[in-house]
Amino acid sequence: MSDSGILAQITCPHCWNRFPPEETLWASAHPRLYGDARLGPDVQRRFLPTRFDAGGNAIDSQGSFCSEVCCPKCHLGIPRTMFELRSIFYSILGSPGSGKSHMLATTTWQMRQALGSRFKLSISDADPDSNRQLNESEERLFFNEHPDKLATIPKTETEGDLYQPVQFGDETIWYPRPFVFVVQPLADHPRIAERDEISRAICLYDNAGEHFLPGGESSISPATQHLNISRGLLFLFDPTQHARFREACKANTNDPQILGTGRSHRQDQILHEAANRIRTHSGLAQQQKYDKPLIIVITKLDSWGPTLWPEWDTVDDPIRDARQGVAGLDLSLIESVSAQMRVIMSKLAPEFVNAAEGFANNVTYIPVSSLGRSPEVDEESGMLGIRPNEVKPVWAEVPLLYLLNQTSTGLIPAVRRSGG
Amino acid sequence: MSFELVYTSARRGLRPGASGFCTVAATDGIPRALQDKLESLSGYSYTESLAGSVPPVNHSHMTVRIQRTVYHVLSRIGHVKAEHTNRTNKIAHHLALTSDEIESFDDGPTAMFTDQSFWFSQWDSDPQTLPPDRLPDSYSEPVNGFSAWEEVFGDAGWAGMLGHAIASDFRSVSVIVPNGDQTMALLNEALQLVKAADQWKVCFSTFYTRQTSSAHCHWRFVMDGTSEARHLRARTQGILVDPLGSKTELPDDNPFVQAAREGRPDQAHAMAAAKIRRSGGGALSQPNGDDDEERPERPSVRRRREARLQKKAVQTRSPFDIPEEEYAHVTLEQADAGGSETKRKSSKRKNKAGLILVSVLLLAVIAILVVLGIKQLT
């Protein structure tokens, strides 16, 4: 990082292009300067500035002061924090219907509750407009005006609101919209003096599950290329889409996802597909293993837990308050639970365990219930929904906190139980 | 040859292994690039659609260029019942026509949507390949003046702004409507103000959001209560028709506004031409709130505007319009490309002359150096 506090290289969260700060484009501000070659006629023109005001903001050709900075390749806006804080990219992947959108909404919500009070960290939206879709999902589940009525999070599309079109000549490339959060220590954090070192900009993506199916990626929709730069992967394994899990649980549940007509996906194939893409784009040899953390998030714990892991609703909280005043993650508990999950997975989905451990060196299995109970089918619309006043996530924030602990020094400490 | 594509969420798609959101039907032999493009145009904003009482259907006409072929893409995209995983679903049905094919549809693009039996509004079948040249019956809905505009906005003159936008070099105009109930009627009535020869050049969307459209759109119907409407009210490029939400006033002297109010759409262009002649080539008036009206016009801007208003061969006005004359199935001799072709040749000649001059100067310098060198040696 330079003396000015700006990083020497910035990674665009849209197209993953790396560039030095002096190549940054700015979005003009004057009303006459509309129309950009990449983004179309309805946005402000991007330009490489030659004039700046005293505050370091660019001045466009019509004399207006500009504030939005953009990527030189895709011209999409980049939050300023990504010029000052180190970024971490995490990928969330899984088959269609595995619960990615629900988990993302509950994870970010739970982190907003836990980080401030227990970890002495603040978490904020780097770009509220960009995070709008995720914020709406959080509102549906946790801020709903009608908490007793069934609420639905729409199925994630492969095009539309979560993607942004960029024109390269005759071709339009659809880039996924990133969700960017800033995590930094609060004033009473013990390491506040090292604020610049430990603060991070965290980028997450909510891809449609179809993008992870074989053949689901195309040159005009490189929606999953963030897999290559991610510091860790969160793979959502959905037991309700696995025939053996459904068979084992159906006698002891009324979850419509288990009792229904059944929709199965070969989730090991999806993991293989993701592994192939990572190997292809990052140049990883076939015999080399992925050396970053692979977290297998076993979702919908409320539907299979009563049968296969009866202590699911009384499992301890892995966030423990430490004597130093800042909470930490109980890694012993997480590793113990992971070992138990591995036993269950090896018995019912050995092909998946094989795929995961054949690809990555460091595999952890973490069970999660994003909603805390089974969804209901709305008789009128036929859609699955949940009543917001019944949402009680279980371990929803744990996978991301664990990833932060494993990949970023100083933000999420680990704690060990005293006295053995 | 026309091509169709149907895109929705289903257990199985047309491509082996596909499921979820995928293509479930397409014309046999559809080019891969066109298929990818049509799939990318299938976005539907479910959360935005909830702003209305009934989720609106997006009827749109866009032009896209695939390699050297321009296609007119007619699309019907709407909400459907829950899919096989009990989650929200949509269905997008696209019909891509070449420039040659649209010539046989004189009634314009909106007439292609009247045949309800052609357009898929839901999909319960297995994936299938559609037969080639399957086309809808095209007929215009009877239009009664501008009654829909009068009913929705209280003043039929607002329709005139859409005609004015097209006459002003195909500028984009956004219309904020209270709901999606009457947008097709508003569209049909407004098209009366567009010359028949230009109707297929008008790109429109009856449920427009920036995020779901990557193609240029002239007429954008935006639902009130959506984030798109809020964005437009905060700042808009082009013309905004928002009589319900903002204080914009209609310019009473605009000939298109007058023609709409009087129910005489056939007179609109004659009145506009007469006004231009009377004012010596001045611009047609626009709604209040346009920045240009508040500032004195610079001479260079006025000269450029006057040059634009003079009749010319069809050219690309905006870098985002597709120059069909370059890529349509007509030869250069048939297209009136004289103006642009002459300009290209003249600039090539200038470049050549410059090159020759520089070469001559370089040779002269080399010759002088050689002479001096010889003198030194002797």
Report the residue from B45, B65, B85 with minimal CB separation from A160. Answer: B45
Q: Are B86 and A377 a contacting pair at CB < 8 A? A: yes
Instruction: Return the structure tokens found at B336.
Output: 């009136």
More confident position, B207 or B300: B207
Question: What pLDDT shows up at residue B297?
Answer: 52
Nearest CA in chain B to A218: B36
Nearest alpha-carbon partner for B264 in B155, B153, B146: B146
Q: pLDDT tens digits for A289-343?
A: 999 999 999 999 999 999 999 988 888 899 988 767 788 899 999 999 999 999 9
Question: What pLDDT shows up at residue B337?
Answer: 43
Q: Where residue A282 falls among pLDDT bands split at 50, 70, 90?
A: confident
Report the residue from A40, A132, A263 with minimal CB separation from B320. Answer: A40
Numbers of helices and strands, H then E, in chain A: 11, 21
The b-or-e profile of A24-55 (16+ CB within 10 A means b, else e) is: bbbbbbbeebbbbebbbbbbbbbbeeeeeeee
Q: Are A152 and B40 a contacting pair at CB < 8 A? A: no
Q: Are A136 and B47 a contacting pair at CB < 8 A? A: yes
Q: What is the DSSP letter of B11?
A: S
Question: What pLDDT shows up at residue A69?
Answer: 95
Select the highest-mean-pLDDT range: A119-123, A255-259, B41-45, B289-293.
A119-123
Tell me phi and psi for residue A215, to 5 degrees.
80, 5
Report the residue from B44, B172, B318 with minimal CB separation from A160. Answer: B44
Report pTM: 0.78
Q: Where residue B214 falls among pLDDT bands split at 50, 70, 90?
A: low
Question: What pLDDT shows up at residue A43?
Answer: 86
Residues 6+ apart with CB under 8 A from B189: B143, B145, B146, B147, B148, B149, B159
Nearest CA in chain A to B291: A31
Over residues B77-103, mean pLDDT:
88
Task: Classify A20 as helix, strand or coil.
Answer: coil
Residues 6+ apart with CB under 8 A from A224: A91, A93, A207, A211, A212, A216, A217, A274, A277
* A112 pLDDT above the threshold of 80: yes
Question: What pLDDT shows up at residue B24?
Answer: 95
Question: What pLDDT shows up at residue B312?
Answer: 46
- Which chain B residues are Cβ-neighbours of A263 within 8 angstroms? 11, 84-85
Distance of CA B268 to the CA centre of its chain: 21
HSE-up of residue A102 (Cα within 13 Å, Cβ side): 31
Report the residue from A97, A167, A215 with minimal CB separation from B18. Answer: A215
More confident position, B262 or A260: B262
Q: pLDDT tens digits for A263-276?
A: 777 899 889 988 88
- Which chain A residues are Cβ-neighbours of B69 within 8 angstroms? none
* B139: number of Cβ within 10 Å: 12
More confident position, A119 or B314: A119
Question: What pLDDT shows up at residue B68?
Answer: 85
Q: Where residue A214 falls among pLDDT bands split at 50, 70, 90?
A: low
Residues 6+ apart with CB under 8 A from B375: none
Separation between Cα atoms, residue B81 and residue B31, nearest integer Å: 30
Separation between Cα atoms, residue A385 and residue A402, nearest integer Å: 29
Weakest-pLDDT range from A169-178, A206-215, B190-199: A206-215
- Which chain B residues are Cβ-neighbours of A256 within 8 angstroms? 86
Q: Does B75 touch chain A (CB under 8 A)?
A: no
Task: Using a pLDDT cut of 70, give the percent of chain A over it.
Answer: 93
Look over chain A and give the mean of its residue pLDDT values, rounded to a whole number.
87
Q: Does B378 touch chain A (CB under 8 A)?
A: no
Interface test with B, best of A132, A133, A157 (most B CBs within 10 A): A157
By residue count, chain B amounts to: 378
Look over chain B and give the mean of its residue pLDDT values, rounded to a whole number.
79
Nearest alpha-carbon partner for A22 in A61, A72, A66: A72
Q: Which of residues 93-152 of B touch A (CB under 8 A)?
A: none
- Which chain A residues are Cβ-neighbours of B36 within 8 angstroms? 218, 220-221
Q: Does B40 touch chain A (CB under 8 A)?
A: yes
Over residues A114-143, mean pLDDT:
87
Separation between Cα atoms, residue A35 and residue B317, nearest integer Å: 13
Separation between Cα atoms, residue A80 and residue A70, nearest integer Å: 9
The ipTM, to two decimals, is 0.78
Question: What pLDDT shows up at residue B48?
Answer: 63
Q: Does B214 touch chain A (CB under 8 A)?
A: yes
Token look-up 């959502």 returns A236
What is the CA angle A289-A295-A296, rounded to 5?
105
Question: What pLDDT shows up at residue B345?
Answer: 57
Question: What pLDDT shows up at residue B289?
Answer: 41
State how far residue B247 is from chain A, nearest Cα, in angstroms.
Answer: 20
What is the CA angle B359-B364-B369, rounded to 5?
125
Task: Classify A247 as helix, strand or coil.
Answer: helix
* A396: number of Cβ within 10 Å: 27
Contact B165, B171 (CB under 8 A): yes
Question: What pLDDT shows up at residue A145?
Answer: 85
Q: pLDDT tens digits for A63-73?
A: 999 999 999 99
Nearest CA in chain B to A137: B47
DSSP secondary structure of A302-320: HHHHHHH-GGGGGPPPSEE
Over residues B239-251, mean pLDDT:
80
- Which chain B residues are Cβ-neighbours of A383 within 8 angstroms? 82, 86-88
Q: Where residue A165 falls among pLDDT bands split at 50, 70, 90?
A: confident
- Which chain A residues are Cβ-neighbours of B22 within 8 angstroms? 210
Task: Using a pLDDT cut of 90, give the percent of chain A over it.
Answer: 46
Task: In chain A, list all ranges with CATH 3.40.50.300.
Answer: 86-415
Amino acid type, A44: Q
Q: Where residue B275 falls among pLDDT bands split at 50, 70, 90?
A: low
Q: Does B15 touch chain A (CB under 8 A)?
A: yes
Separation between Cα atoms, residue B88 and residue B83, nearest integer Å: 7
Q: Which of residues 254-293 of B touch A (CB under 8 A)?
A: 291
Q: Are A35 and B227 a contacting pair at CB < 8 A? A: no
Q: Are B320 and A132 a contacting pair at CB < 8 A? A: no
Strand partners, A173: A166
Q: pLDDT tens digits for B297-348?
A: 555 655 666 666 554 444 434 444 444 444 333 333 344 444 455 555 566 6
Q: Are A263 and B87 a contacting pair at CB < 8 A? A: no
Report the residue from B9, B82, B237 with minimal CB separation from A34. Answer: B237
Question: What pLDDT shows up at residue A274?
Answer: 87
Cα separation values, A370 from A124, A339, B255, Å: 21, 21, 59
Question: What pLDDT shows up at residue A113?
Answer: 87
For domain A86-415, the question of CATH label 3.40.50.300 is answered with yes
Report the residue from B40, B90, B211 with minimal CB separation from A172. Answer: B40
Token look-up 């896209």 returns B64
Question: What pLDDT shows up at residue B149?
Answer: 93
Question: What pLDDT shows up at residue B320?
Answer: 43
Nearest alpha-carbon partner for B73 in B19, B33, B109, B24: B109
Instruction: Return the structure tokens found at B313.
Output: 């061969």
Q: pLDDT tens digits for B31-74?
A: 998 998 899 889 887 766 665 567 889 999 999 888 889 999 99
More confident position, B223 or B17: B223
Question: What pLDDT shows up at residue B143?
Answer: 78
Nearest CA in chain A to B67: A170
Q: Does B300 touch chain A (CB under 8 A)?
A: no
Q: Are B211 and A167 a contacting pair at CB < 8 A? A: no
Separation between Cα atoms, residue B251 and residue B290, nearest integer Å: 12
Question: What pLDDT shows up at residue B318?
Answer: 42
* A59 pLDDT above the threshold of 90: yes
Question: What pLDDT shows up at residue B314?
Answer: 41
Nearest CA in chain B to A172: B214
* B152 pLDDT above the threshold of 70: yes
Domains of chain B, start order:
1-140 (no CATH), 145-312 (3.40.50)
Over residues A362-386, mean pLDDT:
88
